[in-house]
Protein backbone atom coordinates (compact mmCIF):
# COMPACT_ATOMS: atom_id res chain seq x y z
CA UNK A 1 0.00 0.00 0.00
CA UNK A 2 1.21 3.50 -0.86
CA UNK A 3 0.49 6.52 1.31
CA UNK A 4 0.28 10.00 -0.16
CA UNK A 5 0.01 13.08 2.02
CA UNK A 6 -2.17 16.03 1.09
CA UNK A 7 -1.77 19.08 3.36
CA UNK A 8 -5.43 20.09 3.02
CA UNK A 9 -7.06 16.68 3.20
CA UNK A 10 -4.65 14.95 5.56
CA UNK A 11 -3.45 11.46 4.81
CA UNK A 12 -4.80 9.77 1.70
CA UNK A 13 -4.17 6.05 1.47
CA UNK A 14 -4.04 4.37 -1.92
CA UNK A 15 -3.54 0.72 -2.70
CA UNK A 16 -1.12 -0.62 -5.32
CA UNK A 17 -3.62 -0.01 -8.13
CA UNK A 18 -4.23 3.63 -7.19
CA UNK A 19 -7.58 3.16 -5.49
CA UNK A 20 -8.31 5.71 -2.78
CA UNK A 21 -8.92 3.92 0.52
CA UNK A 22 -9.68 7.02 2.61
CA UNK A 23 -13.28 7.50 1.41
CA UNK A 24 -16.24 5.21 0.76
CA UNK A 25 -15.35 2.04 -1.11
CA UNK A 26 -16.50 1.89 -4.72
CA UNK A 27 -17.20 -1.59 -6.04
CA UNK A 28 -19.44 -3.42 -8.49
CA UNK A 29 -22.53 -4.55 -6.59
CA UNK A 30 -22.65 -7.73 -8.69
CA UNK A 31 -19.04 -9.02 -8.67
CA UNK A 32 -17.34 -6.75 -6.06
CA UNK A 33 -14.65 -5.54 -8.50
CA UNK A 34 -13.23 -2.15 -7.46
CA UNK A 35 -12.14 0.32 -10.15
CA UNK A 36 -8.78 2.07 -9.98
CA UNK A 37 -8.37 5.79 -10.52
CA UNK A 38 -7.08 5.23 -14.07
CA UNK A 39 -10.05 3.11 -15.23
CA UNK A 40 -12.22 4.89 -17.78
CA UNK A 41 -15.73 4.67 -19.17
CA UNK A 42 -16.95 6.11 -22.47
CA UNK A 43 -20.01 8.27 -23.01
CA UNK A 44 -22.18 8.15 -26.13
CA UNK A 45 -20.72 11.59 -26.98
CA UNK A 46 -17.29 9.93 -27.32
CA UNK A 47 -15.68 11.35 -24.17
CA UNK A 48 -13.76 8.96 -21.84
CA UNK A 49 -13.26 9.60 -18.10
CA UNK A 50 -13.47 7.92 -14.71
CA UNK A 51 -17.21 7.97 -14.03
CA UNK A 52 -16.64 7.93 -10.26
CA UNK A 53 -14.76 11.22 -10.39
CA UNK A 54 -18.01 12.94 -11.38
CA UNK A 55 -20.74 10.78 -9.83
CA UNK A 56 -21.74 9.38 -13.21
CA UNK A 57 -21.97 12.72 -15.04
CA UNK A 58 -20.08 13.05 -18.33
CA UNK A 59 -17.92 16.19 -18.02
CA UNK A 60 -18.11 16.76 -21.78
CA UNK A 61 -21.88 16.67 -22.49
CA UNK A 62 -23.20 16.64 -18.87
CA UNK A 63 -25.26 13.47 -19.44
CA UNK A 64 -26.15 11.82 -16.10
CA UNK A 65 -25.55 8.07 -16.29
CA UNK A 66 -28.08 6.32 -14.04
CA UNK A 67 -26.37 2.93 -14.54
CA UNK A 68 -22.69 1.98 -14.79
CA UNK A 69 -21.25 -1.01 -16.61
CA UNK A 70 -18.65 -3.02 -14.71
CA UNK A 71 -15.35 -3.23 -16.58
CA UNK A 72 -14.71 -6.66 -15.04
CA UNK A 73 -18.00 -8.59 -15.37
CA UNK A 74 -19.65 -6.44 -18.08
CA UNK A 75 -23.00 -6.17 -16.27
CA UNK A 76 -24.87 -2.92 -15.57
CA UNK A 77 -25.96 -1.69 -12.13
CA UNK A 78 -27.47 1.56 -10.87
CA UNK A 79 -24.59 4.01 -10.37
CA UNK A 80 -25.67 4.75 -6.78
CA UNK A 81 -25.29 1.06 -5.82
CA UNK A 82 -21.55 1.15 -6.54
CA UNK A 83 -20.89 3.23 -3.40
CA UNK A 84 -20.51 0.99 -0.35
CA UNK A 85 -22.26 2.35 2.74
From 19, 3, 21, select the one nearest 11 (Cα to Cα).
3
**Of the candidate ranges 23-27, 38-42, 48-52, 56-60, the one whose mean pLDDT is the lowest:** 23-27
Give the total number of structural domains in the chain.
1
Residue 38: inside a domain: yes
Residue 57 has pLDDT above 90, yes or no: yes
Contact between residue 23 and residue 10 where contact means Cβ atoms under 8 Å apart: no
Residue 41: inside a domain: yes
Residues spanned by the domain of 65: 25-85
Give mean pLDDT, residues 35-59.
96
What's the pLDDT score for residue 64?
Answer: 97
Residue 49: inside a domain: yes
Report pTM.
Answer: 0.71
To the nearest whole percent, how much of the chain has pLDDT over 70? Answer: 73
What own/partner pairs with CB < 8 Å and gap ≥ 24 does 76-82 have?
77/28, 77/29, 77/30, 79/51, 79/55, 81/29, 82/26, 82/27, 82/28, 82/29, 82/52
Amino acid sequence: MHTLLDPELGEVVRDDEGRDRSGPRIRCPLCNWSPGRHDQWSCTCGHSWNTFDTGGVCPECLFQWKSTQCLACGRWSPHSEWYEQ
